[in-house]
Chains A and B, each alone.
Chain A
């Protein structure tokens, strides 16, 4: 009986501890409703925890840096921008919940989520409530367009290029520049992003006369790729295309090199994370390439300034998601200025008319599908450093 009582006390103590800790963190989040006269509310709905936390955290950091800069210069329309930040935990249904919550708080626009699938989940909420959403990095072609009717969603915008462009760019690079004639594809099967990349890479590579000798898939969360890699090795491809996110790709590349697969490998912007080098190791990453939104080493002054400011604030190097988050926030600020109003509907109209917006990740002009037309960089891992081509 004494045992039982001890247990109860212990458990209660833990419980109370949890609640107190929870309330402490909760306070700043909850105490911000009702936009005040001098403020414009901007919603951040990013993946701050869970599978792709690295993207969401960095994009949110980039956006917050931009908003701090804007506010320091006197804000927009004489008002300060105020950030309402929520975590979608890298879950699609949670992303939608967060959107509904943010919209009900009266935001002018939402930045995020990062992953295309989560943007698709938020889309109906945004369209129904007529609040614009800027997706920093949703590269799936369907993100801004209703695939059934072919109509552009009026309230969905993105600050990045498309998977179709990305897959084609890597196919060109592999076939023309690296001179590879056969390739294998081993990508994530868990999301539209990686499946899209695989599809467009395959089409473009085959159209050029290349041959796909093997195509395999994995599921997010997998850790053992050796069996499938052994199978791919037996097919003897000259190049392996690995579209997917860094968490799995880093382990996959390491295991490929352990199995004596030395051929070059390529991927998309999902590779852009410092974890790639810490997990796979600099040596294993040699001879691998990925398409990306911008390069940190670009000498242009606006990029150099951004990198410096970001490093100063967060003491780490900004990846492309940070840059895209930063661009998204500036895009929004420009649109509010152009609309001369913080009314979400007017801001959406102004966003659609964005022209020659000078972003860190390239100059953006929205086409009729709310896609910016911009360039793609190919980045090589060389002894643990990123070298752009």
Chain B
């Protein structure tokens, strides 16, 4: 919570800015200034931001490379879709159920695998992500490989906006708390952290679970926006998509992840007719960023008021 007068002021300004963005977009949708095509991309953007910020918690802040994020998204999408479609639950409980189910999946997968290190962990999470997909393919009640068709479109701009803002605030506050410092200490030097009395396994599992839960949230929103979900949508290439955003933005920078998610969504929309070029650009981003800036474009820095004021040379 803000303490000084000045901080209060900034807090209020932030609220006003957010409310402004929200109202402006809502107005543009209501007056049909944003046609359906832009609306779809706007939805993808919000969903991508949630995915990138949540994966960044695992990959960037905790330093555990997970390649199974799409699997958790799938869990959230399926559970939420089943809730609204078969169990006639309303949307908010369905979103919550989807997120919790994904967090639970994160816990179940995290406990055994997070003992592994580095690339072994990466491969194990990739394997688990694929197993989730294959299991979904084999459940006839959710349509098997053909997936669930005809999900009601319940995801609207207010939900998308709110979910995105909540994700960012929760993860940002977590990182700035004492938990966050423990999590970052795991990334910096696991052995040293352990020596200092940090229960590294517990912090790794917790970060993994929270990240998975938000991926589930993104999945629930996705399912109720795009009418259709099928297991193939959530294969490991989807996980790589999210990884590209995190790597591009900077491993360990929330603002970086947000900017990268926005950039990648716009790029995808612009190159819609040329998927090959998009993927070639992805590949180059991964290689070049790793060779020249292994910490990502923003590194672990955040883009804040200070960055801007320094840029403009004034004092804020």
Contact = CB atoms under 8 A, between A and B. Distances in A.
A and B touch in the complex (CB under 8 A): yes
Contacts of B230: 92, 117
Contacts of A219: 137, 145
Interface string B130-145: 0000000100000011
Chain A binding surface SS class: helix
B18 interface: no
Contacts of B191: none
Given A93-B233, A125-B36, A22 B145 contact: no
A86 interface: yes
Nearest to A96: B226
B144 A121 contact: no
Contacts of B35: 100, 104
B274 interface: yes
Nearest to B271: A22
B153 interface: yes
B37 A4 contact: no
B145 A189 contact: yes
Contact of B227 (A96, A191, A192, A195): A96
B45 to A, nearest CB: 13
A146 B287 CA distance: 47
Which of B37, B146, B228 gathers most chain A CB within 10 Å? Answer: B146
In this complex, the interface size class of chain A, counting residues with CB under 8 Å from chain B, is 35 or more
A125 B39 CA distance: 12
Contacts of A121: 226-228
B274 A117 contact: no
A259 interface: no
Contacts of A8: 288, 292
Contact of B145 (A104, A124, A147, A191): A191
A103 B32 CA distance: 14
A11 B146 contact: no
Interface of A: 4, 7-8, 11, 14-15, 18-19, 21-22, 25-26, 29, 49, 86-87, 89, 92-94, 96-98, 100-101, 103-104, 117, 120-121, 123-125, 128-129, 142, 146-148, 189-192, 195, 219-220
Interface of B: 35-37, 39-40, 137, 144-146, 149-150, 153, 226-228, 230, 232-233, 271-275, 277, 280-281, 284, 287-288, 291-292
Given A26-B274, A104-B35, A147-B150, 19 more contacts: A8-B288, A11-B288, A22-B277, A25-B273, A92-B228, A93-B228, A93-B233, A96-B227, A100-B35, A100-B39, A100-B40, A104-B37, A120-B228, A121-B228, A128-B36, A148-B150, A189-B144, A189-B145, A192-B149
